[in-house]
Amino acid sequence: MPVDNSSPLKPYRSRSRRGCLTCRQHRLKCDEKSPRCGSCSRLERRCQWGLKASFHPSRVCQLSSSDSTILGEIELGRQHQNTLAFLDETEDIEREYIRPDEALVQHESNRDGPGDSSARGSEGHCPDVINEHHVHPLPPIPDLPIYTTRNNISLINIISGGGSLQNHDRTPPQEVLSWPINDHIKACLLSSYFQHTSRWCEVTNSLQPFSTLSSHLVLESQAFAAAAVALASVTATSRDAFSVLLTKDLYAFARQTLQCVKSEHCEGSLLAITILYIYCSALGRTNECQSTRDECAELLQANSPGNAGDSLWTACFWAFVRQDVWDAYFSGRPTLIPTETWKVIPPGVPRVPIQDTYSNLAIWITARIVNELSSQSADINEITLQNLWEELQAWVIERPISVRCIMEVEASGDSAFPTILFSNPSAVCGNIYYHTGCILLLETGKIPDKFSAMASPICHARRIAGISVTNNNQVAARHIPAAIEKIAILKHLREIEDLTGWKTTSYILELEKLWGLG
């Protein structure tokens, strides 16, 4: 085939000068969409735009003599044009400020009115006014609100000591607590708390006291705001090292803020210490969890519903005892707050959702079972255990329709456990505690066999795994026989940590050791 030698040869590869710098660096076709092109969006890369300057290798370390001469002349001209001089404006700045004595004179003049010529006396009257000010000091002007923002940084001013006007002059200097994050990150974390993370504390409270009913406390209580931001950082941030460090800093800041303002806002402090207890439980911090748990129990017992709001105190109480029941079971001790002193609201009370009261009733029965089993084997009362079993069976029979499942599908195919669907979180929590209490009682061997399927721990264990998203598989794990069910539980626990940030690694290791999979 003849070749036309007169036609110009096309280059083998031409470098594009268009598109973002990222696509040009990786030699990708760029659609030039701004601010982020399609390739960077698809590959999740940072899209950068601008000019890419490159230099010859010979000019990386030094310039040529001609270039050095030209640059020297340019810099010499700049030095002559931009000659700097220092100006002392101290006196002018001082005159702009009004001293306290001058402010007092102006205040007296304005109070007497513009038409009173005697009030606008000559300068000779000023010393008398000043001396009167020193002999009879005026009450100090109240401080501004403790929360201010400057340069995108949040500050909290804490006044230690009494807040009365008589000893205001003797109060020590204010301590300033600065947030470890700016206001933009703080707003994102607060939004995540109100939309997602607060649900951890509102499992059996349909009125949402930790989010909807307490939203105004973010402005009134800095301890509550700091604790909410710390809890939200568990799920809202990524899993890199910086986010872990930021989460620890936010927790330390919340603890410091709580210690400073604990006595100033009872409701905010009660919410804050409860949220921090959930925070420590979510991250599995045992030492911090113990101290926070003890402090929370002490604050709950000290503030009865007469001192704090009934609904708020009740919400914090049930959020605390739900977690304390599991801590008591793990450590083999009774609950910190004795079950005899629990304020259990009977079903049918107005303005309290019935699904909440029934779920809290199941928690109370399970807590009594844990307390009874924490005693020595010789001290366990068989009659008490049988009475608790009868209470559980009466609970499951008498529970209202809102606490019953709305759909149940048996396990089949890839599903290792039955699918049990409930309409509200309170029903989920109440039924989990019911099945957990049944397992604990059946394990004692002191419950008479009724030849019923519900008298088998395996049945309750499978229903716990089928119902719960945050279930305690250590209770049900001893009765999971099939390997596919064990693998499904381990996989589900990993998904919980990946999606929510709630640490489940320790539970996975315990289950692997229990099942001999380690």
Q: How far apart, in whole angstroms, are the C-alpha atoms of residue 100 and residue 444? A: 77
Query: Of 222, 235, 252, whose CA–CA distance to 193 is shortest?
Result: 235
Residue 131 · residue 139 · CB < 8 Å = no
Residue 501 · residue 494 · CB < 8 Å = no
Torsion region of 316: left, alpha or beta (phi above 0 gives left; psi -120 to 50 gives alpha)? alpha
Output phi, psi for 418, to 5 deg.
-70, 150
Higher pLDDT, 35 or 129: 35
Q: Model confidence at 16, in pLDDT bands (50, 70, 90)?
A: low
Residues of the chain with pLDDT > 70, as a percent, come to: 65
Residue 315 · residue 210 · CB < 8 Å = yes
Is position 262 within any domain? yes
What pLDDT is recorded for position 229?
92
Instruction: Give the total number of structural domains in the chain.
Output: 1
Query: Of 365, 515, 363, whose CA–CA distance to 441 is shortest?
Result: 365
- Maximum distance among all alpha carbons in the chain? 116
Q: Model confidence at 423, in pLDDT bands (50, 70, 90)?
A: confident
Higher pLDDT, 14 or 490: 490
Model confidence over 93-108: pLDDT tens digits? Answer: 777 765 545 544 444 4
Please give the structure tokens belonging to residue 210.
């930790």
**Ranked by mean pLDDT, which of 92-106, 144-158, 293-307 comes out on top?**
293-307
Give the CA angle between residues 493, 330, 345 to the nearest 5°: 95
Model confidence over 428-440: pLDDT tens digits? Answer: 889 989 989 998 9
3-state secondary structure of 176: strand
Please give the structure tokens belonging to residue 17.
């000068």
Residue 235 · residue 192 · CB < 8 Å = yes
> Strands 419-421 and 407-409: what pairing?
antiparallel
Model confidence over 332-348: pLDDT tens digits? Answer: 899 999 999 888 888 87
DSSP H/E element including 175: strand 175-182
Please give the structure tokens belonging to residue 34.
């701004």
Model confidence over 441-472: pLDDT tens digits? Answer: 988 888 876 545 567 777 777 777 777 533 33
What is the pLDDT of the chain when averaged over all its residues?
Answer: 73
Which residues, in sequence order, are CB contacts of 87 under 8 Å at separation 6+? none
Model confidence over 163-199: pLDDT tens digits? Answer: 333 343 443 444 557 888 888 888 989 998 888 888 8
Which residues, in sequence order, are CB contacts of 166 under 8 Å at separation 6+? none
Is position 236 within any domain? yes
**Residue 192 CB-half CA count within 13 A:** 18
**Exposed, middle or buried, 111 (CB in 10 Å: 0-12/13-18/19+)?**
exposed
Is position 281 within any domain? yes
Q: How far apart, in whole angstroms, are the C-alpha atoms of residue 303 and residue 75? A: 72
Average pLDDT of the residues in 309-314: 75
Q: How far apart, in whole angstroms, are the C-alpha atoms of residue 387 and residue 491? A: 37
What pLDDT is recorded for position 9?
56
Q: Model confidence at 325, in pLDDT bands (50, 70, 90)?
A: very high
What pLDDT is recorded for position 414?
67
H helices of 399-424, in order, are none
DSSP 333: -
Please give the structure tokens belonging to residue 59.
């000019």
Cis peptide before 305, with omega less than 30 degrees from 0?
A: no
Q: Could you tell me the end-to-end alpha-carbon distance of the chain, in angstroms, rounded to an integer? A: 71
> Strands 147-150 and 407-409: what pairing?
unpaired
Higher pLDDT, 71 or 229: 229
3-state secondary structure of 200: helix
**Ranked by mean pLDDT, which of 64-68, 153-157, 269-273 comes out on top?**
269-273
Output phi, psi for 175, to 5 deg.
-95, 130
Is position 18 within any domain? no
Query: Of 204, 457, 229, 195, whose CA–CA distance to 317 is shortest?
Result: 204
**Exposed, middle or buried, 474 (CB in 10 Å: 0-12/13-18/19+)?**
middle
Is position 497 within any domain? no
Q: How far apart, in whole angstroms, are the C-alpha atoms of residue 382 and residue 399? A: 26
What pLDDT is recorded for position 145?
35
What pLDDT is recorded for position 454?
65
Which residues, in sequence order, are CB contacts of 425 under 8 Å at separation 6+? 199, 202, 203, 204
Please give the structure tokens belonging to residue 469.
């998203």
Q: Model confidence at 273, in pLDDT bands (50, 70, 90)?
A: very high
> Any idea which of 176-180, 208-212, 379-383, 414-418 has the lowest mean pLDDT?
414-418
**What residues does 155 pair with on adjacent strands?**
148, 178
Q: Which residue segment(s) compose the domain that 311 sits in?
A: 182-332
Describe the strand order of the beta sheet including 147-150 as a list of residue ranges. 147-150, 153-158, 175-182
Using alpha carbons only, how large is the chain's radius of gyration in Å?
35
What pLDDT is recorded for position 58?
62
What pLDDT is recorded for position 287?
76
Residues of the chain with pLDDT > 90, as a percent, come to: 12
Is position 361 within any domain? no
**What residues does 153 pair with on adjacent strands?**
150, 182
Is position 272 within any domain? yes
> Any idea which of 24-38, 183-197, 339-353, 495-509 has the lowest mean pLDDT?
495-509
Task: Count the Cβ atoms, other than its own, within 10 Å of residue 39.
Answer: 19
Is position 324 within any domain? yes
What pLDDT is recorded for position 433?
92
What pLDDT is recorded for position 83?
63
Does 140 score more than 50 pLDDT?
no
Q: How far apart, in whole angstroms, are the C-alpha atoms of residue 28 and residue 302? A: 66
Q: How far apart, in whole angstroms, are the C-alpha atoms of residue 273 and residue 214? A: 14
What pLDDT is recorded for position 61?
67
Does 478 score more than 70 pLDDT?
no
